[in-house]
Amino acid sequence: MPENLLWWIVGAVVLFAGIAVAAAMVNQGVVDYDALTQRLRRQRPHRDSFRDTPVVSDEPPRRAAVIVNPTKVDDLSEVRARIAGVCAAHGWGPPIWAETTAEEPGTAQARQAVLDGAVLVCPLGGDGTVRAVAKALVDTETPLGLLPGGTGNLLARNLDLPLDSVEKALVVALTGHNKSVDVGQIIIDRGNGAEPEEDTFLVMAGIGFDAAVMAGAPEHLKRQVGNAAYILAGLRNMKGPQFKARMSVDGGMDFTRRTRTVLLGNCGKIFGGLVLMPEAKIDDGLIDAVAMSPKGIVGWTAVLARIVSRQRKGHPIVDHHTGREIRVRMDRPEELQLDGDTLGPVRSVTASVRSGALVVRVAGSG
């Protein structure tokens, strides 16, 4: 037999034997080709295995704290699950969760969260909750992340942060960059022989009509109609009397205004896109003031026109001032509010800012 023919016969026998064995195994259900393919893929080393072995960090994942005002959230468990999901999706550990109470509105909870390892603290509530939490972070390196949970969300508005979604705002807090902003500082004299009080605010302090509006917009009404609650409260208080305010800027000569309200602002934007103080910036180291002195419907219409047009000068019923320190003394006790929290009647206040004292997480990358 020719040698070439012999090799062909041997090859054919081996080939058919292999096919027969494979067919028998398939018919007996021994070979699962899909499973085999998966096993082979798992067993195949990744190309990175031939490179240097990656270093696995022993550091625990970063954790954020969420300080929530439970009166502002309808379903706490559902919100907690959503927040935990966003944190996990961005490589953060389970968030530290704390709830505010009437006695502890957020400052103590924020301090404890930092002690517990939080590297980011996020208030979830109204402007009052934001102010309380921020108090614990002033003059520290721990950033504040803003989650929309209130009616105004005024600090978030002034920083152009998301207002329509907790998830979007949390992503900014987890992935954004740090921005140092000023913190309003106010010394309060109630005129009853008590020692002056010191407090802070992030957006605005308001005396007179403005504070009456805040006091006249209760939580249940804000939950029902949102920002319209402030409009309704404003209409109810529109006819109140003026008071005499003696003001001074940076220790200069006093000047007197008969006014309905005096606002002291660290930043100028309020709800609805309205800007009360067009030149106010949250990081300029300055405090801004506006005194409004309308009389009747015509006067309030003129005030609104000035606000909508964002004009700073040119009308005596809307008087703007800017400085490093502004003092206001009233001829009678008037209500005071700080970022929407009413503090009762006062006789004088002195406002300034602590430049760059608070770190806030904002959109973008550093």
Q: For 74-83, 274-283, 331-340, which range has the lowest pLDDT when averaged over its residues?
A: 274-283
H/E segment holding residue 242: none
Distance between CA atoms of 45 and 138, rounded to whole angstroms?
Answer: 51
Percent of the chain predicted with pLDDT > 90: 63
- The pLDDT of residue 93 is 97
Q: Does the CA dihedral 225-79-181-340 come out positive or negative?
A: positive
Instruction: State the pairing for strand pair 120-125/147-148.
Output: parallel
Mean pLDDT of 122-146: 97
Contacts by 306-314 with C-beta closer than 8 Å and gap 24+?
A: 307/274, 307/275, 307/276, 308/274, 310/275, 310/278, 311/278, 312/278, 312/279
Instruction: State the pairing for strand pair 325-338/64-68.
Output: unpaired
Nearest-5° angle of CA 254, CA 259, CA 262? 75
Give the closest residue to 213 by CA, choosing from 242, 193, 236: 236
**Is residue 228 pLDDT above 90, yes or no?**
no
- The pLDDT of residue 253 is 96
- The pLDDT of residue 49 is 40
Residues 53-85: pLDDT tens digits?
Answer: 444 556 789 999 999 999 999 899 999 999 999
**Is residue 157 pLDDT above 90, yes or no?**
yes
**Is residue 31 pLDDT above 80, yes or no?**
no
Per-position DSSP letters for 72-138, written without gaps between them: G-S-HHHHHHHHHHHHHHTT--PPEEEE--SS--SHHHHHHHHHTT-SEEEEEE-HHHHHHHHHHHT
Q: For 33-42, 50-59, 255-264, which range has the lowest pLDDT when averaged over its residues?
A: 33-42
- The pLDDT of residue 21 is 34
**Is residue 18 pLDDT above 50, yes or no?**
no
Mean pLDDT of 276-283: 92
Instruction: State the pairing for strand pair 341-362/177-189.
Output: antiparallel
pTM: 0.80
Q: pLDDT higher for 147 or 29?
A: 147
**Is residue 240 pLDDT above 90, yes or no?**
no
**Is residue 34 pLDDT above 70, yes or no?**
no
Mean pLDDT of 93-110: 97
- The pLDDT of residue 219 is 73
Q: 365 falls in which pLDDT band (50, 70, 90)?
A: low
- The pLDDT of residue 141 is 96
**Is residue 24 pLDDT above 60, yes or no?**
no
Give the closest residue to 170 by CA, choosing from 126, 206, 230, 122: 122
Distance between CA atoms of 129 and 339, rounded to whole angstroms?
Answer: 10
Q: Which residues pair with 123 in a beta bridge?
A: 67
Residues 186-201: pLDDT tens digits?
Answer: 999 999 888 999 999 9
**Is residue 136 pLDDT above 60, yes or no?**
yes
Question: What are the structural domains, with CATH classification, of the chain?
Answer: 3-46 (no CATH), 64-175 (3.40.50.10330), 184-357 (2.60.200.40)
Q: Is 178 helix (H, G, I), strand (E, B) or coil?
A: strand
- Give the number of other Cβ atoms within 10 Å of residue 139's Cβ: 10
Q: Which residues, 6+ apart, have CB-to-CB distance to 304 below 8 Å?
A: none
Average pLDDT, the chain: 83
Q: Which residues, 6+ apart, have CB-to-CB distance to 280 below 8 Å?
A: 265, 266, 267, 268, 286, 288, 322
- The pLDDT of residue 358 is 98
Mean pLDDT of 149-160: 92
**Is residue 238 pLDDT above 80, yes or no?**
no
**Is residue 14 pLDDT above 90, yes or no?**
no
Top-ranked range on mean pLDDT: pick from 31-45, 190-204, 218-232: 190-204
Q: 317 falls in which pLDDT band (50, 70, 90)?
A: confident
